[in-house]
């Protein structure tokens, strides 16, 4: 559920020609689109099933209402918007579709500019809601709720593609001293600027999450351990040479430098699920803290 990526749409339709036409219009509008025919398995439990919207024909060999019921029965996917398209103009079909959980019902032939406008408007409304749900308001990083949902998906993806993923937990050193000395308002500024520097340092494909307090989790996607460690060490060097904030008063300017400690764990070597990996990364973080701080430690192999 990357809030910054293009929206994904799945088209379920037994007419391959209609899929091609609709896919062309939606792709031209900037959406990622996958078309599947009604006789293909629809498995919301599978890791590859991650749409932001489902557009489904009503009348097919596998009835559209059955597909809707399958998706809505899964707690992880019941919030995915679902639009029926159909040549049927029967009002009872529309009523049944809405009562079963469909978000819209569009009659064929479709007016494509109107469809795209509806979808765009719907996603704009969802963006506002999801920003409130999955973003930390202070740092604008992803929050722990996002991590709880995205981490299992990423692990499933990396397992299917036989890829490695690195999880890092970063903790600002002596952050209580910053708050006690300069006040919580300055502490908040430090956190905001720390988040910005992390985002500027890691790759665009990586995820940065405010885990709690001054702790930040980074998901290094399809990454090697030494490369992830080197990235965090570059970040430490940058922070050592550049203050995150400067307090100006009547007599002088006081620059505030920070460091952090970090622990890294690798999927699947140090764990095969999110809880295990976070636990191992946290152990490595504790080792970094107790060994003098301002360093990155790697969880040992089991």
Q: 134-174 pLDDT, tens per residue?
A: 999 999 999 999 999 899 989 988 998 999 999 999 999 99
Q: Is 28 left (phi over 0), alpha (psi -120 to 50) or beta?
A: alpha
In a domain, 40, yes or no: yes
> What backbone torsions phi and psi does residue 281 show, to the nearest 5 degrees?
-65, -35
CATH of the domain at 33: 3.40.50.2300
Looking at residue 241, what is its pLDDT?
96
- pLDDT-derived band of residue 69, with 50, 70 and 90 as boundaries? very high
Looking at residue 49, what is its pLDDT?
54
Q: For 251-270, what is each residue's pLDDT tens digit?
A: 788 999 999 999 999 999 99
Please compute Rg for the chain using Cα positions: 24
- pLDDT-derived band of residue 72, with 50, 70 and 90 as boundaries? confident
What Cα–Cα distance (Å) separates residue 204 from each residue in 6, 47, 79, 124, 221? 14, 22, 27, 22, 10
C-alpha 161/C-alpha 22 separation (Å) is 29
CATH of the domain at 176: 3.30.70.270
120 and 164 within one domain: no
Range ranked top by mean pLDDT from 105-119, 126-140, 281-295? 281-295
Tell me which residue of 290, 132, 151 sits closest to 217, measured CA to CA.
Answer: 151
Count: domains in the chain:
2
135, β-bridge pairs = 142
292 and 156 within one domain: yes
- pLDDT-derived band of residue 43, with 50, 70 and 90 as boundaries? low
Q: Is 39 exposed, middle or buried (0-12, 13-18, 19+ CB in 10 A)?
A: exposed
Looking at residue 4, what is its pLDDT?
62
233 carries an active-site annotation: no
DSSP string, 193-214: HHHHHHHHHS-TTSEEEEEETT
160 and 83 within one domain: no
Averaged confidence pLDDT in the chain? 91
Looking at residue 39, what is its pLDDT?
52
166, β-bridge pairs = 220, 266
Average pLDDT over residues 275-293: 98
Alpha-carbon dihedral of residues 278, 282, 288, 291, nearest 10 degrees?
-150
In a domain, 2, yes or no: no
- pLDDT-derived band of residue 79, with 50, 70 and 90 as boundaries? confident
294 and 169 within one domain: yes
Looking at residue 46, what is its pLDDT?
47
231 and 166 within one domain: yes
Average pLDDT over residues 168-195: 96
In a domain, 274, yes or no: yes
161 and 259 within one domain: yes
C-alpha 258/C-alpha 245 separation (Å) is 9
Is the pLDDT reported for residue 3 higher than 90?
no
Write out the residue range of the structural domain in which residue 55 sits.
8-134
C-alpha 84/C-alpha 65 separation (Å) is 9
**Catalytic-role residue among 214, 215, 237, 287:** 214
Question: Domain boundary residue among 77, 110, 134?
Answer: 134
Q: For 213-244, what is each residue's pLDDT tens digit?
A: 999 999 999 999 999 999 999 999 999 999 99
Q: How many CA atoms lie within 13 A of 261 on its CB side?
A: 17
16 and 126 within one domain: yes
Question: Domain boundary residue among 98, 116, 134?
Answer: 134
Question: Domain boundary residue among 110, 134, 158?
Answer: 134
In a domain, 92, yes or no: yes
283 versus 250: the higher-pLDDT residue is 283
DSSP 264: E
- pLDDT-derived band of residue 53, with 50, 70 and 90 as boundaries? very high
Return contacts of 82-90, CB within 8 angstroms, 24+ apart. Answer: 82/53, 82/54, 82/56, 83/53, 83/54, 83/55, 83/56, 84/56, 84/57, 84/58, 85/13, 85/55, 85/56, 85/57, 85/58, 85/110, 86/57, 86/58, 86/59, 87/59, 88/58, 88/59
Is the pLDDT reported for residue 45 higher than 80?
no
4 versus 106: the higher-pLDDT residue is 106
In a domain, 182, yes or no: yes
Is the pLDDT reported for residue 37 higher than 90?
no
């Amino acid at each position: 559920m990357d809030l910054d990526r293009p929206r994904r749409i799945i088209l379920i339709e037994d007419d391959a020609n209609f899929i091609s036409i609709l896919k062309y219009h939606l792709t031209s509008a900037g959406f990622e689109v996958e078309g599947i025919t009604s006789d293909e398995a629809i498995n919301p439990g599978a890791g590859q099933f991650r749409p932001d919207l489902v557009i489904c024909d009503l009348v097919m060999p596998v009835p559209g209402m059955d597909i809707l019921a399958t998706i809505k029965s899964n707690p992880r996917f019941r919030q995915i918007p679902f639009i029926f398209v159909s040549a049927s103009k029967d009002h009872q079909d529309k009523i049944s579709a809405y009562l079963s959980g469909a978000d819209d019902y569009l009659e064929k032939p479709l007016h494509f500019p109107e469809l795209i406008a509806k979808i765009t408007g719907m996603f704009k409304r969802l963006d506002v809601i999801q920003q409130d749900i999955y973003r930390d308001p202070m740092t604008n990083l992803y929050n722990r709720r996002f991590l709880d949902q995205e981490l299992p998906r990423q692990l499933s993806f990396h397992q299917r593609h036989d890829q490695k993923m690195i999880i890092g937990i970063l903790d600002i050193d002596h952050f209580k001293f910053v708050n006690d000395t300069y006040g919580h308002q300055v502490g908040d500024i430090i956190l905001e600027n720390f988040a910005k520097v992390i985002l500027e340092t890691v790759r665009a494909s990586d995820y940065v999450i405010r885990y709690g307090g001054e702790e930040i989790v980074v998901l290094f996607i399809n990454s090697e351990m030494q490369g992830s460690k080197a990235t965090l060490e570059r970040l430490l060097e940058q922070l050592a040479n550049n203050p995150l904030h400067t307090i100006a008063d009547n007599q002088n300017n006081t620059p505030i430098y920070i460091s952090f400690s970090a622990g890294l764990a690798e999927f699947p070597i140090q764990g095969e699920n999110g809880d295990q990996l976070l636990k191992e990364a946290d152990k490595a973080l504790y080792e970094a803290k107790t060994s003098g701080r301002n360093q990155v430690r790697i969880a040992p192999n089991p």
